[in-house]
Amino acid sequence: MVTRTNKTSATTSRNKSDPKRDPDNQSRLLNRELSLIKFNERVLAMAERADTPALERLRYICIVSSNLDEFFEIRVSSLKEQLRQYPNAAGADGFSAEQAFERVQQAVHQLVQRQYDLLEDAVWPALKAEGILVHHAFDWNAAQTKWAHEVFTRDVMPLLTPIGLDPAHPFPRVYNKSLNFILPLSGHDAFGRKSTIAVVQAPRALPRLIKMPPSVSGQPNGYILLTSLLRAFVGELFPGMEMQGCYQWRVTRNSDLFVDEEEVTNLRHALQGELSQRNFGSAVRLEVDQTMPRHIEEYLQNEFSLSDADTYRVNGPVNLSRLMQICSAVHRPDLLFPEYVAPIPAPFDRPLTRPGALFEAIAAGDQLLHHPYQSFQPVIDFLTAAALDPEVVAIKQTIYRTGEDSELMRLLLAAAKAGKEVTVVVELMARFDEQTNINWAARLEEVGAHVVYGVVGHKTHAKMALVLRREKGRIRRYGHLGTGNYHPRTAALYSDFGLLTADTRLCEDMDKVFSQLTGLGERRTLKLLLQSPFTMHESMVRMIRAEARAARAGKKARIMAKMNSLLEPIVIDELYKASAAGVQIDLIVRGVCALRAGVPGLSENISVRSIIGRFLEHARVFYFYADGKERVYASSADWMDRNFFRRVEVAFPILDEKLKKRVIQEAFTFALNDNQLAWLQQKNGDYIKLKNRKPPFSLHEALILANQTAN
């Protein structure tokens, strides 16, 4: 747990009591970082729920830990840069960089303490009652100590390199988020040197969690942490010296990559050079064992130029996300969410007698997929048919995230080997997937695929696959458009829509977008697709304004939008104006939301809710009443500056009336009726769990039931 109240927290408390310095009641926008922390608070609340299965409770704690790692690596590092350059400049949220940093640090300290307290007081006891536990060194019996020492001597000690700090051995270079130990020592070594402190770095090859045999553990699922092994036996690395203690610690570094877009001539080579340095960016957070003496903590702070506000003293492992291994290693289905096998919907649920049959099914009418409630297999089958069908002449695909072991990528490799024209737009700057994408790009090039890296300065985030097939002497196009990545594993966890279509206008638009990405030329005019950075923002603003005009004219007007993040200030301002005009606006924003809902005179007709549950809400869907025409778009893009102006994105209309009604029901009606997973935003940016007297209704359970019944 966090045990120190630092100067930052005290300053923040003073700010909150001073209305002249507190912009909460004046700013039209909420702070991005604080909103992101509130999202993680909602995630952690899933671990606090007694009706969440025990192993899933542990998983949610680990997810928060992983989220916070990225939060520090990207968002806090950016905030620190602002703090250095413009400490007193007020942002759009009304905070100066200094005020924002103070409040963010206070909020994260509180969240981390809540996280570790929950693990210690509730989750570990619940798992122990089920025979799942982590054995700490101070609780080992003789047999467990003997076994642990054998493991240390055989598997751990040979890989350790102790470093005694002295003029000949400076402080070692420390990897981002690596596990390290610092040991105060006394005595003299074999050379007569007097050493006072040493550092031991845990090699990444060592497992952080080790299964203890049930016969030794006394429980079916007993584990020990690498931390416990080192604490118990690391003194053997320093014979003749007296060890005064052993304390774990971890430093988090700035992990954002910088590529000079004006100077770069080969993006892949430039990025590979940057990746090699990612693990050694400037330090932004220090995590230490809560038992670490103050003078050692200050020593580490000085080494990394960090303060008390940047330091987190924890009661447990410094990297909780490593405990995620337990969730998959322990075979206890009763302690997980009930297994759900997504059905394959018609017409894809029948065996394909020939590759062309799938294309005939798509040609008969647009096919809508809603993952993870429906299987991702039809998308795989679509590309399998494209690779096998002799009438298919070309495949074009965007890749943002796909994973290291990707069946989809293997299909593209097979298609290229078979002599088909395969063009793949690989986004090399997909954060934390850069190396994976570089590896796939190289393999695709080796088999003759055309590999391009999109547009420098604009990440290619659009999700598109286009197949060109020869039919009756002409080329016909078939396309897949989605709101999520081509990643089968996440497709089983993330809620996303996908559309398989042979609509001539949609497929021609897709082809034009691919031509823009692979070639040169003027901006293309698209018939149906909205595209960033060209038409999507202006189109969304235009449709919001149209609803406002309708409301002012006394007509029915309605806006509903579902997304991951809402930050773009012009869109937010237009939503405020539409609210003032009388438009009813329902926003379902899973994560960061800068818009304030329900503020009199500003947004009283706007509601914002966040759905947090078993599946990750990932789809972006936008609805406008449009004088009864009910325009519905699904998209790869959130309403953020980057998605509108610095990325290549698409939003595609749902044209088929039956499919449109289905999207409205599954994306909005069910979500707005949810009273089990929904959180409602308050005008100060806080969220409260929705509670009412209605019969319980869960969005996720309703969609699972609907798709099981349909099949």
Is 461 a residue of the active site? yes
To 10 degrees, what angle do helices 142-151 and 226-233 make? 100
* Distance in angstroms (rounded) separating the CA atoms of residues 531 and 537: 8
* Distance in angstroms (rounded) separating the CA atoms of residues 588 and 567: 13
Q: Which helix (H) or strand (E) covers residue 490, if one does?
A: helix 488-491
Both tokens assigned to 111: 């969240």
* Distance in angstroms (rounded) separating the CA atoms of residues 52 and 55: 8
Q: Is 590 annotated as a binding residue?
A: yes
Nearest of 90, 97, 68 to residue 284 by alpha carbon: 68
* Distance in angstroms (rounded) separating the CA atoms of residues 610 and 677: 8
Catalytic residue among 109, 135, 461, 480: 461
* Distance in angstroms (rounded) separating the CA atoms of residues 532 and 510: 13
Query: Quick count: other Cβ atoms within 10 Å of Cβ 91?
Result: 17
* Distance in angstroms (rounded) separating the CA atoms of residues 428 and 451: 11
CA angle 665, 564, 383 (to 5 degrees): 75
Q: Where are the alpha helices (DSSP H) in 192-251?
A: 214-217, 226-233
Start-to-end CA span in the chain (Å): 48
Reduce the DSSP state of residue 562 to 3 states and report it. Answer: strand
* Distance in angstroms (rounded) separating the CA atoms of residues 290 and 436: 36
* Distance in angstroms (rounded) separating the CA atoms of residues 591 and 36: 6
Q: Where are the alpha helices (DSSP H) in 609-679?
A: 641-645, 657-663, 670-673
Phi, psi of 686 (to 5 degrees): -75, 165
Reduce the DSSP state of residue 632 to 3 states and report it. Answer: strand
Phi, psi of 572 (to 5 degrees): -60, -45
CA 43, 97, 99, 281 torsion-angle sign: positive
* Distance in angstroms (rounded) separating the CA atoms of residues 632 and 626: 10
Both tokens assigned to 352: 């394909």
CA angle 378, 407, 269 (to 5 degrees): 125
Query: 501 has which bridge partners?
Result: 479
Residue 262 buriedness (CB in 10 A; 0-12 / 13-18 / 19+)? exposed
Q: Which helix (H) or strand (E) covers residue 73, if one does?
A: none
Q: Is 401 annotated as a binding residue?
A: yes
* Distance in angstroms (rounded) separating the CA atoms of residues 604 and 583: 10
- DSSP state for residue 308 in the 8-state scheme: G
Query: Quick count: other Cβ atoms within 10 Å of Cβ 377?
Result: 18
CA angle 513, 516, 519 (to 5 degrees): 140
To 10 degrees, what angle do helices 434-446 and 407-417 make? 20
* Distance in angstroms (rounded) separating the CA atoms of residues 689 and 337: 21
Ranges of beta strands (E only) in 472-549 are 474-482, 494-501, 530-532
Both tokens assigned to 410: 């293997």
Query: Quick count: other Cβ atoms within 10 Å of Cβ 238?
Result: 18
Nearest of 570, 573, 550, 381 to residue 480 by alpha carbon: 381
Give the residue numbers of the binding site.
67, 401, 431, 494, 590, 618
Q: Which residues are catalytic?
A: 461
Binding residues for Mg(2+), by number, are: 401, 431
Cite the annotated binding site for ATP by residue number: 67, 494, 590, 618
